[in-house]
């Protein structure tokens, strides 16, 4: 049986998986509309945010008990800084060392971030419906 803590972690991981799906779909659409290299660039740009986000969620939601709340906040802050910095560094490395187009890669990066807003709003709405 799943505990509340497990379901919290599972929901967070599910959101990141939805984000990865969004990245793949966007890259596919761009691949069809503007060519293979644009699709590849969008995929790499999007993944440079998705992968640090996935690792962040795995690490931060390792312990979710009430007693570990302060530890959770500390892990959250440190993880957030690491995520922001590492995603930006990976993005710049992708742009610099891979044969990618700048605009599709940047658009993939931005779509993945803004798309996460909508995913989180959908989850909030669903959570509200479940609790009613």
Partner 1 sequence: MEIASLVAQVQGFSAVAAGLLIGLAALGTAIGFGVLGGKFLEGVARQPELTAMLMMRMFLVAALVDAFAAISIAMGLYLFFANNPFLGAVMNAAKPAVGA
Tell me which residues touch partner 1 (CB under 8 A). Answer: 4-5, 7-8, 11-12, 49, 57, 60-61, 64-66, 69-70, 72-73, 76-77, 80, 83-85, 87-89, 91-92, 95-96, 102, 106, 109-110, 113-114, 116-117, 120, 123-124, 127
Minimal distance, residue 22 CB to partner 1, in Å? 13
Cα–Cα distance between 112 and 42 in angstroms, integer? 10
Q: Closer CB to partner 1, residue 33 or residue 130?
A: 130
Who's near 75: CB < 8 A, 6+ residues apart? Answer: 59, 60, 62
Burial readout 70-87 (b: 16 or more C-beta within 10 A, e: otherwise): eebeebeeebeeebeebb
Q: Closer CB to partner 1, residue 32 or residue 73?
A: 73
């Amino acid at each position: 049986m799943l505990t509340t803590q497990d379901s919290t972690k599972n929901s967070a991981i599910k959101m990141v998986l939805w984000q990865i799906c969004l990245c793949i779909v966007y890259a596919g659409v761009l691949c069809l509309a503007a060519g293979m290299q644009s699709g590849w660039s969008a995929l790499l740009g999007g993944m440079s945010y998705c992968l640090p986000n996935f690792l962040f969620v795995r690490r931060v939601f390792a312990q979710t008990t009430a007693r570990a709340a302060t530890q959770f906040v500390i892990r959250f802050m440190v993880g957030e800084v690491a995520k922001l910095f590492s995603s930006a560094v990976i993005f710049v490395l992708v742009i610099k060392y891979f044969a990618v187009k700048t605009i599709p890669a940047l658009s993939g990066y931005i779509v993945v971030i803004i798309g996460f807003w909508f995913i989180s709003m959908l989850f909030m709405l669903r959570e509200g419906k479940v609790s009613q």
